Protein backbone atom coordinates (compact mmCIF):
# COMPACT_ATOMS: atom_id res chain seq x y z
CA UNK A 1 0.00 0.00 0.00
CA UNK A 2 1.48 3.36 -1.03
CA UNK A 3 2.04 6.11 1.54
CA UNK A 4 -0.72 8.42 0.16
CA UNK A 5 -3.15 5.48 0.25
CA UNK A 6 -2.13 4.65 3.82
CA UNK A 7 -2.62 8.28 4.86
CA UNK A 8 -6.06 8.39 3.22
CA UNK A 9 -7.10 5.12 4.88
CA UNK A 10 -5.93 6.35 8.27
CA UNK A 11 -7.84 9.62 7.82
CA UNK A 12 -10.97 7.74 6.80
CA UNK A 13 -10.78 5.46 9.85
CA UNK A 14 -10.32 8.52 12.03
CA UNK A 15 -13.48 10.07 10.57
CA UNK A 16 -15.40 6.83 11.05
CA UNK A 17 -14.33 6.64 14.70
CA UNK A 18 -15.26 10.28 15.29
CA UNK A 19 -18.74 9.96 13.84
CA UNK A 20 -19.23 6.65 15.69
CA UNK A 21 -18.47 8.25 19.06
CA UNK A 22 -20.73 11.22 18.39
CA UNK A 23 -23.69 9.40 16.89
CA UNK A 24 -23.76 6.44 19.27
CA UNK A 25 -24.32 8.87 22.14
CA UNK A 26 -26.98 10.77 20.21
CA UNK A 27 -28.72 7.54 19.23
CA UNK A 28 -29.41 6.88 22.92
CA UNK A 29 -31.47 10.08 22.99
CA UNK A 30 -33.31 9.16 19.80
CA UNK A 31 -33.98 5.59 20.99
CA UNK A 32 -35.24 6.70 24.40
CA UNK A 33 -37.12 9.53 22.70
CA UNK A 34 -39.50 7.25 20.86
CA UNK A 35 -37.83 5.15 18.15
CA UNK A 36 -38.95 1.94 19.87
CA UNK A 37 -42.62 2.94 19.96
CA UNK A 38 -42.64 4.79 16.64
CA UNK A 39 -41.72 1.77 14.53
CA UNK A 40 -43.36 -1.50 15.42
CA UNK A 41 -43.24 -4.90 13.80
CA UNK A 42 -46.09 -5.48 11.40
CA UNK A 43 -46.53 -9.23 11.76
CA UNK A 44 -47.50 -11.82 14.36
CA UNK A 45 -45.34 -14.85 15.06
CA UNK A 46 -46.21 -18.10 16.82
CA UNK A 47 -45.06 -18.13 20.45
CA UNK A 48 -46.46 -21.19 22.26
CA UNK A 49 -49.40 -23.51 22.88
CA UNK A 50 -51.14 -23.38 26.25
CA UNK A 51 -54.32 -24.62 27.88
CA UNK A 52 -57.48 -22.80 26.88
CA UNK A 53 -58.69 -20.16 29.35
CA UNK A 54 -62.07 -18.50 29.61
CA UNK A 55 -62.20 -15.53 27.23
CA UNK A 56 -59.61 -16.86 24.77
CA UNK A 57 -60.41 -16.52 21.07
CA UNK A 58 -61.77 -19.91 19.93
CA UNK A 59 -60.33 -19.21 16.46
CA UNK A 60 -56.87 -19.80 17.93
CA UNK A 61 -57.63 -23.33 19.20
CA UNK A 62 -54.93 -25.82 18.21
CA UNK A 63 -57.11 -28.78 17.23
CA UNK A 64 -54.20 -31.23 16.91
CA UNK A 65 -52.98 -30.64 20.48
CA UNK A 66 -56.58 -30.51 21.74
CA UNK A 67 -57.29 -33.95 20.23
CA UNK A 68 -54.03 -35.41 21.51
CA UNK A 69 -54.46 -34.19 25.10
CA UNK A 70 -58.24 -34.41 25.22
CA UNK A 71 -58.28 -30.86 26.61
CA UNK A 72 -58.68 -27.56 24.69
CA UNK A 73 -55.42 -25.74 23.88
CA UNK A 74 -54.83 -22.55 21.94
CA UNK A 75 -51.97 -21.10 19.91
CA UNK A 76 -50.45 -17.95 21.39
CA UNK A 77 -49.03 -15.33 19.03
CA UNK A 78 -46.87 -12.30 19.73
CA UNK A 79 -45.98 -9.24 17.73
CA UNK A 80 -42.85 -9.50 15.62
CA UNK A 81 -40.67 -6.75 17.07
CA UNK A 82 -37.83 -7.04 14.62
CA UNK A 83 -38.06 -4.69 11.66
CA UNK A 84 -35.82 -3.76 8.76
CA UNK A 85 -34.67 -0.16 8.38
CA UNK A 86 -33.62 0.93 4.90
CA UNK A 87 -31.78 4.22 4.34
CA UNK A 88 -32.08 5.77 0.89
CA UNK A 89 -29.34 8.42 0.85
CA UNK A 90 -28.91 11.04 -1.87
CA UNK A 91 -25.23 11.46 -2.81
CA UNK A 92 -25.75 13.62 -5.91
CA UNK A 93 -23.51 16.67 -6.36
CA UNK A 94 -26.06 19.11 -4.95
CA UNK A 95 -25.57 17.57 -1.49
CA UNK A 96 -21.92 18.66 -1.50
CA UNK A 97 -22.86 22.12 -0.25
CA UNK A 98 -22.94 23.92 3.08
CA UNK A 99 -22.48 27.40 4.53
CA UNK A 100 -23.31 26.90 8.23
CA UNK A 101 -20.34 26.32 10.53
CA UNK A 102 -20.43 23.23 12.72
CA UNK A 103 -18.87 22.74 16.16
CA UNK A 104 -15.44 22.30 14.55
CA UNK A 105 -15.69 25.64 12.78
CA UNK A 106 -15.99 24.15 9.29
CA UNK A 107 -18.89 24.31 6.87
CA UNK A 108 -21.57 21.70 7.58
CA UNK A 109 -22.08 19.97 4.24
CA UNK A 110 -25.50 18.49 3.56
CA UNK A 111 -23.99 15.13 2.63
CA UNK A 112 -22.09 14.98 5.93
CA UNK A 113 -25.24 15.76 7.90
CA UNK A 114 -27.07 12.98 6.03
CA UNK A 115 -24.26 10.61 7.02
CA UNK A 116 -24.60 11.66 10.67
CA UNK A 117 -28.36 11.23 10.72
CA UNK A 118 -28.03 7.87 8.99
CA UNK A 119 -25.53 6.78 11.65
CA UNK A 120 -27.85 7.87 14.48
CA UNK A 121 -30.77 5.99 12.93
CA UNK A 122 -28.57 2.93 12.36
CA UNK A 123 -27.35 2.77 15.95
CA UNK A 124 -30.92 3.29 17.17
CA UNK A 125 -32.04 0.42 14.97
CA UNK A 126 -29.46 -2.08 16.19
CA UNK A 127 -30.25 -1.06 19.77
CA UNK A 128 -33.72 -2.35 18.96
CA UNK A 129 -32.27 -5.52 17.36
CA UNK A 130 -33.37 -4.34 13.91
CA UNK A 131 -31.59 -4.83 10.61
CA UNK A 132 -30.24 -1.85 8.66
CA UNK A 133 -29.49 -1.51 4.95
CA UNK A 134 -28.51 1.37 2.66
CA UNK A 135 -29.10 2.48 -0.92
CA UNK A 136 -26.90 5.41 -1.92
CA UNK A 137 -28.21 7.02 -5.08
CA UNK A 138 -27.77 9.70 -7.72
CA UNK A 139 -29.70 9.18 -10.95
CA UNK A 140 -29.06 5.49 -10.35
CA UNK A 141 -28.37 3.25 -7.36
CA UNK A 142 -24.66 3.78 -6.72
CA UNK A 143 -24.20 1.50 -3.68
CA UNK A 144 -26.45 -1.13 -2.12
CA UNK A 145 -25.66 -2.58 1.30
CA UNK A 146 -28.15 -5.35 2.18
CA UNK A 147 -29.85 -5.16 5.59
CA UNK A 148 -27.93 -6.80 8.43
CA UNK A 149 -27.37 -6.43 12.16
CA UNK A 150 -24.29 -5.68 14.22
CA UNK A 151 -21.83 -2.92 15.02
CA UNK A 152 -19.34 -3.89 12.31
CA UNK A 153 -22.11 -3.65 9.73
CA UNK A 154 -23.03 -0.15 10.94
CA UNK A 155 -19.38 0.93 10.80
CA UNK A 156 -19.26 -0.23 7.19
CA UNK A 157 -22.34 1.84 6.43
CA UNK A 158 -20.76 4.91 8.05
CA UNK A 159 -17.53 4.36 6.13
CA UNK A 160 -19.39 4.24 2.81
CA UNK A 161 -21.50 7.30 3.63
CA UNK A 162 -18.63 9.59 4.64
CA UNK A 163 -16.54 8.61 1.62
CA UNK A 164 -18.99 8.10 -1.28
CA UNK A 165 -17.67 7.65 -4.81
CA UNK A 166 -20.65 8.35 -7.08
CA UNK A 167 -20.23 7.78 -10.79
CA UNK A 168 -23.03 10.20 -11.67
CA UNK A 169 -24.00 13.72 -10.61
CA UNK A 170 -27.76 13.93 -11.11
CA UNK A 171 -30.78 12.68 -9.15
CA UNK A 172 -33.57 10.26 -10.03
CA UNK A 173 -35.74 9.60 -7.00
CA UNK A 174 -38.24 7.55 -8.99
CA UNK A 175 -35.50 5.13 -10.04
CA UNK A 176 -34.26 4.41 -6.51
CA UNK A 177 -37.83 3.98 -5.23
CA UNK A 178 -38.52 1.44 -7.99
CA UNK A 179 -35.33 -0.41 -7.07
CA UNK A 180 -36.45 -0.42 -3.44
CA UNK A 181 -39.83 -1.90 -4.31
CA UNK A 182 -38.28 -4.59 -6.51
CA UNK A 183 -35.43 -5.57 -4.19
CA UNK A 184 -36.99 -5.37 -0.72
CA UNK A 185 -39.87 -7.78 -0.34
CA UNK A 186 -40.31 -7.63 3.44
CA UNK A 187 -42.17 -4.62 4.79
CA UNK A 188 -39.57 -2.16 6.10
CA UNK A 189 -39.15 1.33 7.50
CA UNK A 190 -37.60 3.46 4.75
CA UNK A 191 -35.91 6.81 5.37
CA UNK A 192 -35.34 8.89 2.22
CA UNK A 193 -32.58 11.43 3.00
CA UNK A 194 -32.17 14.08 0.31
CA UNK A 195 -32.07 17.80 -0.34
CA UNK A 196 -34.83 17.23 -2.94
CA UNK A 197 -33.37 20.12 -4.96
CA UNK A 198 -33.66 18.10 -8.15
CA UNK A 199 -35.65 14.89 -7.96
CA UNK A 200 -35.50 13.98 -11.64
CA UNK A 201 -38.56 12.51 -13.43
CA UNK A 202 -41.94 12.50 -11.70
CA UNK A 203 -41.68 10.17 -8.71
CA UNK A 204 -45.26 10.37 -7.36
CA UNK A 205 -46.32 6.93 -8.63
CA UNK A 206 -43.08 5.26 -7.53
CA UNK A 207 -43.47 6.80 -4.07
CA UNK A 208 -47.10 5.68 -3.76
CA UNK A 209 -46.19 2.10 -4.72
CA UNK A 210 -43.26 2.09 -2.26
CA UNK A 211 -45.49 3.52 0.47
CA UNK A 212 -48.03 0.77 -0.16
CA UNK A 213 -45.39 -1.82 0.73
CA UNK A 214 -43.24 0.05 3.25
CA UNK A 215 -43.36 2.67 5.99
CA UNK A 216 -41.72 5.70 4.36
CA UNK A 217 -40.26 8.85 5.96
CA UNK A 218 -38.86 11.70 3.85
CA UNK A 219 -36.00 13.59 5.52
CA UNK A 220 -35.29 16.88 3.77
CA UNK A 221 -31.83 18.39 4.42
CA UNK A 222 -31.26 22.01 3.46
CA UNK A 223 -28.95 24.98 3.97
CA UNK A 224 -30.07 28.53 4.80
CA UNK A 225 -28.40 29.89 1.68
CA UNK A 226 -30.57 27.72 -0.56
CA UNK A 227 -33.76 29.47 0.51
CA UNK A 228 -32.85 32.82 -1.01
CA UNK A 229 -30.20 34.38 -3.23
CA UNK A 230 -27.67 36.70 -1.60
CA UNK A 231 -27.22 40.15 -3.12
CA UNK A 232 -23.85 39.74 -4.83
CA UNK A 233 -24.49 41.71 -8.00
CA UNK A 234 -23.95 39.99 -11.33
CA UNK A 235 -22.86 36.44 -10.53
CA UNK A 236 -22.04 33.36 -12.57
CA UNK A 237 -23.87 30.37 -11.10
CA UNK A 238 -23.56 26.67 -11.89
CA UNK A 239 -26.04 23.85 -11.52
CA UNK A 240 -24.09 21.31 -9.46
CA UNK A 241 -25.79 18.33 -11.08
CA UNK A 242 -26.07 19.32 -14.74
CA UNK A 243 -22.95 21.50 -14.88
CA UNK A 244 -24.87 24.20 -16.75
CA UNK A 245 -23.87 27.79 -15.97
CA UNK A 246 -25.67 31.11 -16.26
CA UNK A 247 -25.19 34.75 -15.33
CA UNK A 248 -27.72 35.94 -12.74
CA UNK A 249 -28.27 39.53 -11.57
CA UNK A 250 -28.62 38.86 -7.84
CA UNK A 251 -28.86 42.62 -7.21
CA UNK A 252 -32.31 42.50 -8.82
CA UNK A 253 -35.01 42.34 -6.15
CA UNK A 254 -37.53 40.68 -8.54
CA UNK A 255 -34.95 37.99 -9.37
CA UNK A 256 -34.32 37.24 -5.70
CA UNK A 257 -38.05 37.23 -4.97
CA UNK A 258 -38.72 34.86 -7.88
CA UNK A 259 -36.07 32.44 -6.64
CA UNK A 260 -37.36 32.56 -3.04
CA UNK A 261 -40.88 31.85 -4.31
CA UNK A 262 -39.63 28.94 -6.43
CA UNK A 263 -37.85 27.39 -3.45
CA UNK A 264 -40.85 27.81 -1.15
CA UNK A 265 -43.26 26.36 -3.73
CA UNK A 266 -40.91 23.48 -4.57
CA UNK A 267 -40.54 22.49 -0.92
CA UNK A 268 -44.31 22.73 -0.33
CA UNK A 269 -44.93 20.51 -3.35
CA UNK A 270 -42.36 17.97 -2.18
CA UNK A 271 -43.89 17.86 1.29
CA UNK A 272 -47.40 17.41 -0.13
CA UNK A 273 -46.23 14.63 -2.43
CA UNK A 274 -44.96 12.64 0.55
CA UNK A 275 -47.92 13.38 2.80
CA UNK A 276 -50.49 12.54 0.13
CA UNK A 277 -48.83 9.17 -0.40
CA UNK A 278 -49.25 8.47 3.33
CA UNK A 279 -45.56 8.98 4.13
CA UNK A 280 -44.10 11.20 6.85
CA UNK A 281 -41.91 14.19 6.01
CA UNK A 282 -39.66 16.51 7.97
CA UNK A 283 -37.18 19.25 7.07
CA UNK A 284 -33.85 19.65 8.85
CA UNK A 285 -31.64 22.71 8.48
CA UNK A 286 -27.87 22.18 8.54
CA UNK A 287 -27.82 24.31 11.71
CA UNK A 288 -30.74 22.47 13.38
CA UNK A 289 -30.67 20.04 16.29
CA UNK A 290 -31.64 17.07 14.17
CA UNK A 291 -31.95 14.82 17.23
CA UNK A 292 -34.78 16.94 18.59
CA UNK A 293 -36.46 16.93 15.17
CA UNK A 294 -36.28 13.13 15.00
CA UNK A 295 -37.55 12.77 18.56
CA UNK A 296 -40.52 15.02 17.76
CA UNK A 297 -41.35 12.92 14.71
CA UNK A 298 -41.12 9.65 16.63
CA UNK A 299 -43.23 11.07 19.45
CA UNK A 300 -45.95 12.05 16.98
CA UNK A 301 -45.82 8.64 15.33
CA UNK A 302 -45.97 6.91 18.69
CA UNK A 303 -49.28 8.59 19.49
CA UNK A 304 -50.71 7.38 16.17
CA UNK A 305 -49.85 3.71 16.69
Mean pLDDT across the stretch 179-203?
94
Phi, psi of 301 (to 5 degrees): -65, -40
pTM: 0.84
Domain, as residue range, for 62: 44-79
Contacts of the segment 296-299: beta carbons below 8 A, 24+ positions apart: 297/38, 297/217, 298/30, 298/33, 298/34, 298/35, 298/37, 298/38, 298/39, 299/33, 299/34, 299/38
Helix axes 110-127 and 290-304, enclosed angle (nearest 10) = 50
At residue 293's C-alpha, the angle toward residues 179 and 296, to 5°, is: 100
Domain boundary (53, 79, 105) is at 79
Residues 155 and 257 in one domain: yes
pLDDT, residue 3, reads 62
Number of structural domains in the chain: 2
What phi, psi does 304 have (nearest 5°)? Answer: -90, -10
Determine the average pLDDT of the residues in 54-82: 81
- The secondary structure of residue 133, as a DSSP letter, is E
Question: In the prediction, which pLDDT does 55 show?
Answer: 79
Confidence check: pLDDT of 42 > 60: no
61 and 99 fall within a common domain? no
Evaluate if residue 77 carries a pLDDT over 90: no
How crowded is residue 47: how many other Cβ atoms within 10 Å of its Cβ? 11
Does residue 8 sit in the same domain as residue 126?
A: yes
- Residue 67 CB partners (closer than 8 Å, separation 6+): none
Whether 10 and 151 map to the same domain: the answer is yes
pLDDT level of residue 76 (50, 70, 90 thresholds): confident
Task: Give the C-alpha separation, 29 to 12, whole Å.
Answer: 26
Query: What pLDDT is recorded for position 6?
Result: 72
**pLDDT > 70: percent of the chain:** 93
Instruction: Using the predicted structure, report yes or no on whether residue 164 has a pLDDT greater than 60.
Output: yes
Question: What's the mean pLDDT in 90-100?
Answer: 94
Tell me the CATH number at 169: 3.40.50.410
Whether 180 and 156 map to the same domain: the answer is yes
Residues 226 and 197 in one domain: yes
Helix axes 173-183, 204-213, angle to 10 degrees: 30
* Co-location of 201 and 240 in the same domain: yes
Residues 31 and 136 in one domain: yes
* Residue 96: pLDDT over 90: yes
Helix axes 110-127, 151-162, angle to 10 degrees: 170
Residues 48 and 157 in one domain: no
As beta bridge partners, residue 88 has: 135, 192
Instruction: State how far the Cα of 296 lies from the Cα of 219, in Å rounded to an integer.
Output: 13
Inform me whether the pLDDT recorded for 79 exceeds 60: no
Q: What is the pLDDT of residues 215-273, one digit of tens each?
A: 999 999 999 999 999 999 999 988 888 889 999 999 999 999 999 999 999 999 999 99
pLDDT at position 116 is 94
Which of 79, 104, 138 is the last residue before a domain boundary?
79
- Do 149 and 270 fall into the same domain? yes
Q: If we measure between CA atoms, which residue out of 214, 207, 128, 140 comes closest to residue 171?
A: 140
pLDDT in tens, 128-160: 889 999 999 999 999 999 999 999 999 999 999
What pLDDT is stored for residue 132 in this prediction?
Answer: 96
More confident residue, 14 or 267: 267
Q: Are residues 49 and 29 in the same domain?
A: no
**Same domain flag for 72 and 202:** no
Rama region for 105: left / alpha / beta (φ>0; ψ in -120 to 50; rest): left
- What is the band of 43 on the pLDDT scale with cuts at 50, 70, 90? low
Residue 40 has pLDDT above 70, yes or no: no
Task: Spell out where the chain has E strands.
Answer: 44-51, 73-79, 84-90, 131-137, 141-148, 189-194, 215-222, 234-238, 245-249, 280-285
Instruction: Specify whether the CB–CB gap between 87 and 132 falls below 8 A.
Output: yes
Q: What is the pLDDT of residue 41?
A: 57
Amino acid sequence: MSEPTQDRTAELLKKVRKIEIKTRGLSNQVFSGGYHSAFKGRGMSFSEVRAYQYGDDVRNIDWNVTARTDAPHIKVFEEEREITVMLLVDISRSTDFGTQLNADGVAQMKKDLMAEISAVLSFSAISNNDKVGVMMFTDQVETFIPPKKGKNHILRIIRELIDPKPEHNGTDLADVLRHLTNMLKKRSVVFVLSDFMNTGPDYKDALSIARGKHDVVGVHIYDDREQELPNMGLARVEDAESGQTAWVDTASAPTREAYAKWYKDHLAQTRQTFLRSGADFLSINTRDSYVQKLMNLFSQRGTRQ
